[in-house]
Amino acid sequence: MSTMMVILEVALGNLGAALGAGIAVLGAGLGIGNIGVAAMEAIARQPEAAGDIRSNMIVAAALIEGAAFFAIVVCLLILFMA
């Protein structure tokens, strides 16, 4: 395998890792934004359930954030192990 092919393979791997991390961040941002919108609409409809809705919103946002963090770590491992 020529040197140029090796360089191209590493460069494409780095590009893929960077794109994967970016997509993970965008997906997490959109997911948490949708949770916030739905929670605000639910609180507007039933103000007496605001505490329960807020608690569930925080748990769901934390789960999404954890999945996004895991995806970013995997992408960074791919980036620095190549």
| pLDDT of 38 above 90 | yes
Q: Do the beta carbons of residue 53 and residue 42 sit within 8 Å?
A: yes
Q: pTM for the complete prediction?
A: 0.81
Say yes or no to pLDDT of 28 above 70: yes
Residues 39-49 pLDDT 10s: 999 999 999 99
Angle 3-45/50-81 helices, nearest 10 degrees? 180
**Domains in the chain, CATH or no CATH each:** 3-81 (1.20.20.10)
